[in-house]
A and B are shown apart, each in its own frame.
Chain A
Amino acid sequence: MATADVKSTVPHMDMDRGGAFDFSNCIRNQAMCKMGGKAPKLTSTGTTIVAVAFKGGLVMGADSRATAGNIIADKHCEKVHKLTESIYACGAGTAADLDQVTKMLSGNLRLLELNTGRKARVITALRQAKQHLFNYQGYIGAYLLIGGVDPTGPHLYMCSANGTTMAFPFTAQGSGSYAAITILERDFKVDMTKDEAEKLVQRALEAGMHGDNASGNSLNLVIIEPSETVFKGPIVPEFCKRPEPNDLVYKFQAGATKVLKHKTYKYDVVESMDITH
């Protein structure tokens, strides 16, 4: 009953597109808020992601912090997503959207590879992402750096949540991208060696992690070359380590926690199962 009402009130939002999203709970949640409930917060990965092309390959990297508001929700989250053996995507934006979009891409690309018997191309991944995201008019909050090596060479693309795509020799995304891009703009050179590119990406990520609150903890790198893909990480920069350990040891004696209430439930064992594998 509510779905019909929502449809008429929410502009530019197709409720039934592919049956993928169901917005009817928006209304329910608002009704619950109205009765004094509190709405949950989405996990948005304030992020630094960086990618740089070098002679013959590509280095991509990301920090590993996921935040929910001003709380660090995950210190070791994986923002470098594998699409195929030689195509990777780094994501910034809403964590759930990124997971689903990259899952969809990797599935579709694998099917394509199996159907054609060839390696998928980076531009294919980009097209799929772009058309999917444009369809949802920015409501899927996925900001991607898609990069990899295919028979036509190394490629690096940016795909924004509203479907804008661009090709770059180097770029950064996420809340830490402003700090990271300054390093890239200063130090990027055409046809760097693998080593130089790797160092540059790491320095750019560290700048992002240092200057941006929502990025930090550790960084992951993936180096993609025609011959092999190497994954490095997690690397913990010096400033991300705790400078001093805790002063005290917080160990509680057994039984130290106050017991406020006792209640015993009686039950009959109807069936049991051995779970010691």
Chain B
Amino acid sequence: MDTMRDEKRKAIPAIGFYPQEEISTGTTLIAMEYNGGVVVGTDSRTSAGSFITSRATNKITPITDNMVVCRSGSAADTQAIADIAKYHIDVYTMTENKPVTIYRSSQIFRQFLYNYREQLSASVLVAGWDEELGGQVYAIPIGGFVSRQRSTASGSGSTFVQGFLDSQWRPNLTLEECKAIVKQAVGLATFRDGSSGGVVRLAVINKAGSQFELFRPDKPGFPFVQTPTPHLSFPPHIEQVL
């Protein structure tokens, strides 16, 4: 996740505008359906260029009691979009006096992400639970195309775990199984992706509402990755201590 967006933006000396930071997108977002709702997991790194602006960001933004949105891309854009969409969803809920469905919420997000696709660099996962369809995940990448997913990963860390998710997902996962997969996936992605890192945040959304969990590297439960130890890189006659 970045604090600045749009690599097209150039300096405008005439008005004293010089872009402050380089841009590179980095986040890991994982979302997965299970038999009673959805589990989403994210890393917590926000960077501006090579500098980590925040190492404990919350990229899971609650929209209603039964819906969250996971943000990736420009932090400013996604925050603004989440604010605006939340406002619209709240207004619909009040005027119609019943909760807005997750699908419809995803369409509200789509409206903004599609209409302003030229000016925004924002991509979101809308995840939630409603009476009609149960747990749902809608992925909206940059450009504003919406698709419902059973298991999905987004952000720069996603490339490292697509295969893992494909191998782990199966129909009717239980909550515990699903949580374990999502947490492990975030762990694997942050281990390999330089622009993801920090803590792992999980959210479980089901009929009961949303529960948020936090896993820190200095506390038990963090999904550490054990890689094979390397072979000796020196010739055998040189003593090498591993």
A and B touch in the complex (CB under 8 A): yes
Assembled-state Cα–Cα distance A134/B80 (Å): 8
Q: A188 within 8 Å of B by Cβ?
A: no
Q: Is the beta-carbon distance between A164 and B75 smaller than 8 angstroms?
A: yes
Q: Are B79 and A163 in contact (CB under 8 A)?
A: yes
Q: Which chain B residues in 1-20 approach chain A with CB under 8 Å?
A: 3-5, 9, 12-17, 19-20
A166 touches B14 (CB 8 A): no
* Residue on A nearest B52 in the bound complex, by CB: A181
User: Would B20 and A161 count as touching, CB distance under 8 A?
Assistant: yes
Residue B101 at the chain A interface, CB threshold 8 Å: no
Say yes or no: is B142 at the interface (Cβ < 8 Å to chain A). no
Question: Assuming the A-B contacts A166-B46, A166-B54, A166-B57, are A160 and B3 also in contact, with contact meaning beta carbons closer than 8 angstroms in the complex?
Answer: yes
B4 touches A162 (CB 8 A): yes
B4 in complex: contacting residue of A10, A29, A138, CB < 8 Å: A138
Residue in B closest to A33 when the chains form the complex, CB atoms: B14
Q: CB of B42 within 8 A of chain A?
A: no
- Please indicate which of the listed interface residues A42, A130, A166, A178 has the most CB atoms of chain B within 10 Å of its own CB: A166
Q: Which of A94, A160, A178 contacts B76 (CB 8 A)?
A: A160
For window 116-152 of chain A, which residues contact chain B by CB distance below 8 Å?
A: 130, 134, 137-139, 141, 143
Question: Which of B5, B9, B16, B119 counts the most chain A CB atoms within 10 A?
Answer: B16
Task: Choose among B14, B17, B76 the residue that contacts A164 (Cβ–Cβ < 8 A).
Answer: B76
- Indicate if the CB atoms of A162 and B76 lie closer than 8 Å: yes
A158 to chain B, nearest CB (A): 8
A163 contacts which of B9, B51, B57, B76 (Cβ < 8 Å)?
A: B76
Q: Does B14 lie within 8 Å of A26, measured CB to CB?
A: yes
Report the Cα distance A161→B4, complex, angstroms. Answer: 9
Partner among B15, B51, B74, B75 whose Cβ is within 8 Å of the Cβ of A23: B15
Residues in A with CB closer than 8 Å to B19 are 138
A-B contacts, CB under 8 A, total: 55
B53 is an interface residue with CB less than 8 A from chain A: yes
Q: Assess whether B16 is in contact with A134, with CB atoms less than 8 Å apart.
A: no
Residue of A nearest to B78 (CB): A164
| Contact bitstring A5-39, B, C-beta under 8 A = 1, else 0 | 00000101000000000010010011000000001
Taking a contact as CB atoms under 8 Å apart, the answer to whether A162 and B54 are in contact is no
How big is the B interface, by class?
20 to 34
Which residue from A139, A162, A166 sits with its C-beta under 8 Å from B53?
A166
Are B119 and A162 in contact, CB atoms less than 8 angstroms apart?
Answer: no
Q: Evaluate contact between B16 and A42: CB separation under 8 angstroms.
A: yes
Name the B residues within 8 Å of A108 (CB-CB): none
Q: Say yes or no: A12 contacts B74, CB within 8 Å.
A: no
Residues in chain A near residue B20, CB distance under 8 A? 141, 143, 161
Inter-chain contact B46/A139, CB cutoff 8 Å = no
Question: Are the CB atoms of A12 and B4 closer together than 8 Å?
Answer: no
Binary CB contact string for chain B from 48 to 60 against chain A (1 if under 8 A, 0 otherwise): 0001011001000
Known contacts: A12-B119, A138-B4, A168-B54. The answer to whether A162 contacts B17 by CB under 8 A is no
Cα separation A166 to B53 with both chains bound (whole Å): 9
Chain A nearest CB from B138 CB (Å) reads 24
Shortest Cβ distance from residue B104 to the other chain A in the assembled complex, whole angstroms: 25
- Say yes or no: A164 contacts B79, CB within 8 Å: yes
Q: Please, how many angstroms separate the alpha-carbon atoms of A10 and B10 in the complex?
A: 11
User: Considering residues A29, A158, A162, which has the most beta carbons from chain B within 10 angstroms of its beta carbon?
Assistant: A162
CA A26 to CA B13, docked complex, whole Å? 9
Shortest CB–CB separation between residue B35 and chain A, in angstroms? 35
Residues of A within 8 A of B9 (CB): 12, 138
Q: Is B80 within 8 A of A163, CB to CB?
A: yes
A165 at the interface (CB under 8 A from B): yes
A-B contact pairs, 9 of them (CB 8 A): A10-B12, A23-B15, A42-B16, A137-B119, A138-B4, A138-B9, A138-B17, A139-B15, A164-B74
Residues of B within 8 A of A (CB): 3-5, 9, 12-17, 19-20, 46, 51, 53-54, 57, 74-76, 79-80, 119
5 further A-B pairs in the complex, CB-CB below 8 A; given A137-B119, A162-B74: A29-B14, A163-B79, A164-B76, A166-B54, A166-B75
